Chains A and B, each alone.
Chain A
């Protein structure tokens, strides 16, 4: 018996959601085994991970806070992937953004908040874009695979941060490898009183909606999609394929860098070595689970934020490792991409040698 994949003629409205639910069930089964092994009760663990954060205002707003960097990286990855530019360097670009933001924040004392807050975001965006410049140029000018070059720059960005924190930016009071606290005027104000949800979220949503509007409604966005779907045809049609890719790559890096600035200005207020817990890589999960839709990536970012917060409370209550949340997210990614294929194709089992 051999499986054959036949393109489905029609797709009823319920098949997509049904398959996603099935993917979630498969995810539960796989991760339940690991939770069991670590001595926790899987059902209780999933309750903590998915339901608990939604039951209290604190849990919900912390989930939103945790989703904020993912909103940026999700949009950054989605817009790049839409243009067929496989930017897997959002992690490095976000880290570069934290560097730029910290530099600006440390020198922003004399600015009022109206200047300093947009300024710190801009500094992050510029550094993020700069970090994506080399891979983008190599891709657009010389045709060198961007996957490898963007990936290789991720550890480099972390090394630059370590170097800065062990050297010029070492904390002037404690001597620990964290930077000094940035100027108060550059900190993102809290937008939901009584919680930690900050203005960075609003910027993230605006940027995402901007991407959605541009890619879906503008001529440039149509060009971007054409380049992503069929670069050969786009070139024959006279579209500037290389230039579109280059611009998209820079915008993508800029958005990721803004995510880094939002973390510095909104939450951490100083640069630390652990400033990003893999936000850039998780951005790939966000964009993929949202099927590269910008509006969808907002929803997915929130769901992953809930899992992040939930896995910490599950870890506290059931003493299972906090990394379980990452396991759930990556398994979900794998099962959902598999489900998306099954949505498009029908599997026919045929006896072999046909």
Chain B
């Protein structure tokens, strides 16, 4: 029994890592009043570009840098569309996701799979401190002990975070107070995209070690839901990510239980998604959206 619980916690941490990283990025972005629906595409394209660069150069670190670079370029496109031009954020973000996924698949075809191959690297190994629970990837430790506290500090304690929140709540007042609205939003989107690209890079460069079509498989949308569930707070988002990942790890364990052998595994795979929706239904009422959420800002 103890073994099962230990395995469950260890798997929860692994599964939760990309969700937490992506959700942290979306928290910063949405706090500035911009919805980044490109999240799924940014994770996808970073997962691909990271492993592509790593397989060509033989260095996982180069792969990581290229992945973050991809995220920044994608963030720049989204920022130009939503902040500079003021395009509808649902359409811009979804368009960006469709664009990044189709480009990644195309380049994947050009570089790797045209001769039936598949890109693989020798991924980062987990770092053990004894026991399965403390045998985790550097990304996991980083997300928990650096990423989450850092984002909390940025949002609530730094001058930049104050500007981001001001711009997200009331851009007119922020503008009058001398805060550059557009520049702050650009910065928030770029920083957020960098976190999302780390989430994508984790999946190919550490978790899986190869790139396959549809590798992100809705993780970006889950992260998006976690941000609403977490009411744009780091702590609550971590709780949400933990619950989701626990359900996910649980369904993986359930498949090993003989009594569940007859339950189609697709049903169990769908369980975490449904858990998020139930979570939103229970605690997503009257959530305090940032004041200028989805609203572009133009000086008249």
Which residues does A use to contact B, with CB under 8 Å? 3-5, 34, 37-39, 86, 88, 134, 138, 142-145, 147-149, 151-156, 159-160, 162-163, 166-167, 278, 281, 284-285, 288, 321, 323-324, 326-327, 329-331, 333-334, 337-338, 341-342
* Partner of B90 from A37, A88, A156 at Cβ < 8 Å: A88
User: CB distance B266 to A327 under 8 Å?
Assistant: no
B residues within 8 A CB of A342? Answer: 85
B residues within 8 A CB of A284? Answer: 91, 94
B interface residues, tally (CB under 8 Å): 49
How many angstroms between the C-alpha atoms of A284 and B77 in the bound complex?
19
B residues within 8 A CB of A331? Answer: 99
User: CB distance B285 to A155 under 8 Å?
Assistant: no
Q: Please name 19 further chain A to chain B contacts, defined as beta carbons within 8 Å, in addition to the given A148-B225, A163-B264, A341-B87, sorted by A numbering.
A: A4-B299, A39-B110, A88-B94, A142-B285, A144-B284, A147-B35, A147-B90, A151-B218, A153-B277, A154-B218, A156-B274, A166-B266, A281-B94, A323-B109, A329-B98, A330-B95, A334-B77, A337-B88, A338-B81
A residues within 8 A CB of B225? Answer: 148-149, 152
The 5 A-B residue pairs with the shortest CB-CB distance, nearest first, are A163-B266, A326-B102, A321-B109, A330-B99, A330-B98
Assess whether B125 is interfacial by the CB under 8 Å rule.
no
User: CB distance B218 to A152 under 8 Å?
Assistant: yes
A residues within 8 A CB of B5? Answer: none
A residues within 8 A CB of B87? Answer: 337-338, 341
* Partner of A337 from B92, B266, B269, B276 at Cβ < 8 Å: B92
Q: Pick the most buried of B77, B99, B102, B281: most chain A CB atoms within 10 A of its CB.
A: B102
Which of B49-101 touch A at CB < 8 Å?
Answer: 77, 81, 84-88, 90-92, 94-96, 98-99
Q: Mark B268-287, 1 if CB is under 8 A from A, else 0.
A: 01100110110011001110
* Partner of A160 from B94, B106, B270 at Cβ < 8 Å: B270
Assess whether B23 is interfacial by the CB under 8 Å rule.
no
Taking A148-B280, A284-B94, A324-B106 as contacts, is the C-beta distance between A5 and B86 under 8 angstroms? yes
User: CB distance A281 to B281 under 8 Å?
Assistant: no
How many angstroms between the C-alpha atoms of A278 and B37 in the bound complex?
17
How many angstroms between the C-alpha atoms of A34 and B108 in the bound complex?
12
User: CB distance A281 to B98 under 8 Å?
Assistant: yes
User: CB distance B95 to A152 under 8 Å?
Assistant: no
CB distance from A78 to the nearest CB of B (A): 12
- The prevalent SS among residues of A at the interface is helix
A residues within 8 A CB of B270? Answer: 155-156, 159-160
Which residues does B use to contact A, with CB under 8 Å? 35, 37, 77, 81, 84-88, 90-92, 94-96, 98-99, 102-103, 105-107, 109-110, 114, 217-218, 221-222, 224-225, 228, 264-267, 269-270, 273-274, 276-277, 280-281, 284-286, 298-299
A residues within 8 A CB of B98? Answer: 278, 281, 285, 326, 329-330, 333
Q: Which residue of A lies closest to B262 (CB)?
A: A167
B residues within 8 A CB of A143? Answer: 285-286
CB distance from A317 to the nearest CB of B (A): 16
> Could you name 30 residue pairs across A and B whose Cβ atoms are closer than 8 Å?
A3-B84, A38-B110, A88-B90, A138-B281, A145-B228, A145-B280, A147-B37, A149-B225, A152-B218, A152-B221, A154-B221, A160-B270, A281-B94, A284-B91, A288-B95, A321-B114, A323-B106, A323-B109, A327-B99, A327-B102, A327-B103, A330-B95, A330-B99, A331-B99, A333-B99, A334-B92, A334-B95, A334-B96, A337-B91, A338-B81
